[in-house]
Amino acid sequence: MRVIICDDNPHDIHTYSIIVKKVLEQADIDAELLLYESPKKLLFDMEDSLFEAQVLILDISMPEIDGMEVAKKLRISGYKGEIVFITFSKSHMLGAFDVRAFNYIVKGETSESRIETILKNVFEAALDKEKEYILFTGVGEYRNIAISSIKYFEVNGKIITVHYGHKEFEFISTIGKLENTLHSKGFIRIHRSYLVAEKSIKSFSYNEAVLYDGMSIPVGRKYYSALKAAMSGTKVS
């Protein structure tokens, strides 16, 4: 798991990082903690590793760009991780619902024990997402694969190949059935022979999509409009 704290106040970053480390240690969660004072730097870095951070802890009041706007940009770009806001005022919390924030911390008001509870809950929620699996039946073999690790499905006749991590597995099904099952999980049909995880797409054009691992996949003409709508925050090449 990767956890990111973004706050322009170095003292606050230090304070919250201590609490985060404490909660992670108590819960025996292996996680990488990254600290950012610049929201613009955070947005820039996440263009290349957008779906690697399972939890974002964002200060709302920052001079370059406020945390609410950062969250909106990330959600538009397809970020599916958990977000916890840090704020001086509860007045911002209506906007938190728009970006599906998990919870919020009010500086100087939320007690440390309450902060620990919020963090414990958000880490558990993030881990639960990572534990979602789907069972595929191959020829004489079953494969239980974490949905979060799947990059794309490729159809060749009656055989479907699922590409996940650095592996692949062949099974018999239909791409239509997969599309119905996985659409709500962030997968999109971009060609009659390809169903792709939105989070894996780095850029796209009218006739191809390029994944973060460098793989190039064709985009069917009839699927381009839906792809463009789903990936409205992604750079179009």
Give mean pLDDT, residues 193-214: 93
Q: For the residues 149-178, what does the mean pLDDT come to? A: 93
Flag whether pLDDT at 90 surpasses 90: no
Helix, strand, coil % over all residues of the chain, rounded to 5: 40, 30, 30
pLDDT above 70 coverage of the chain, percent: 95
Tell me the three-class secondary structure of 30-98, residue by residue: CCEEEEECCHHHHHHHHCCCCCCCCEEEEECCCCCCCHHHHHHHHHHCCCCCEEEEEECCHHHHHHHHH
Residue 98, pLDDT score? 81
Express each pLDDT in 100-141 by its tens digit: 899 999 998 999 999 999 999 999 999 887 778 899 999 889
- Report the C-alpha dihedral over residues 59, 62, 64, 70, rounded to 10 degrees: 30
- Structural tokens at position 50: 């957008």
pLDDT tens-digit series, residues 4-26: 999 999 999 999 999 999 999 99
Mean pLDDT of the chain, nearest integer: 89
d(CA 213, CA 119): 31
Question: Hey, what domains does the chain have and what are their CATH numbers?
Answer: 2-130 (3.40.50.2300), 133-230 (2.40.50.1020)
Average confidence (pLDDT) over 61-72: 90
Average pLDDT of the residues in 175-189? 92
pLDDT at position 233: 53
Our measurement of the distance from residue 140's CA atom to the centroid of its chain's CA atoms, rounded to an integer in Å, reads 34
- Model confidence at 194: pLDDT above 90: yes
Question: What is the rounded distance in angstroms from the CA atom of residue 45 to the CA atom of residue 36?
Answer: 10
Instruction: Tell whether the model's pLDDT for residue 61 goes beyond 70.
Output: yes
**Tens digit of each residue's pLDDT (9 = 90 or more) over 215-232:** 999 999 999 999 998 887
Amino acid at residue number 95: G
- pLDDT score of 178 more than 60: yes
* Mean pLDDT confidence for 177-193: 93
Distance in angstroms (rounded) separating the CA atoms of residues 64 and 83: 19
* pLDDT computed for residue 22 by the predictor: 96
Write out the E strands in 147-220.
150-156, 159-164, 167-172, 187-191, 194-197, 201-204, 208-211, 216-218
Residue with tokens 């009218």: 206
Tell me the Cα Rg of the chain: 20
Give pTM, 2 decimals. Answer: 0.60
